[in-house]
Structure 1
Amino acid sequence: MKTQMRRIAAGLVMGVAVINAAAVSAGEQDAAVPFKMLIEVPSPLGFEATLERLEANAKDMGWKVPSKWKVDFQANLMKVTDTDIGPNQVLKMCEPFAAVKLLLKDEYKMLTAMMPCTIAVYQKSDGKTYISMMNLEAMGQMYGGDVLEMTKELGPQMQQMLKLD
């Protein structure tokens, strides 16, 4: 019964995430959606400088950013579709001690699907560079408990990573 309830809860969470992603991509906040799952901020720097600064900021705070966790979406999609989406890369990073704290508990193992944390850096048609990432505050509010405590700790760190000036 508990397993079935967890699956239902996970399905509901994924449903909310999909709805939020649609609202974010449409550029509007629907009244039925209480928060946005993704945060987008403009970067004061160019594309490459933004990537370099984000990685340096994360490492300065003790986060791990292995090179194999970097994904060049522009190159990958160009190779497969022969379509250039413009500069678009993903940095995956982890605060390993926070991850271990959660993943030691069976009820949080499903959060592995959302780990490591992902930050996207891309250029839009206006030529400006943008950064997007998961709204950890919203995730913490959704799950509560240990997840809320973790997001209260890591959310400010991720916001600090965004300080690029």
Structure 2
Amino acid sequence: VMEALDRNSYRAEARNVKITYDAPEGLEVIGDPEMLTVAVKNLIENAILYSEEGAPVGVGLRKVENVAEIAVTDSGLGIPQEDQARIFERFYRVDPSRSRATGGTGLGLAIVKHVASTHNGEVKLFSKPGVGSTFTLRIPLADKNVIEQDSDRSQP
């Protein structure tokens, strides 16, 4: 999550968006670090781009049972109910006037969904038009016993 925040810091500064971050220490998932970073980066990037200039964006990490939940909340336009089912499709855009020139390829959320699926997780959306959206990436937590066994095996 920290790497994804770092990769978006210039974009947030350019739009005067203040990102708040809240997370406990020590949550670990097993997976491809770069893929997971890209997924979280895409969610944060969208939150910055779809929020008004100067608006807040929230990023939170928490443990829910055996899952790490990464929630990214914006204060943007929100996504109409009729578009929410299709938002994770490749190239789908709620606002067709947004082209590559104004921001993105329409692949970001499809990539997030793919990364979640690849890691036996999921991505959820809660959105209210006129209020904003929260995207929550849910990835199973690493089993501490498995991690300890793997590190024991790597010792000579």
TM beyond 0.5 = no
Short-chain TM bin: under 0.3
Which structure's residues are more often helix, by fraction?
1
Q: What TM-score comes out, normalization by structure 1 length?
A: 0.26
Whose strand fraction is larger, Structure 1's or Structure 2's?
A: 2
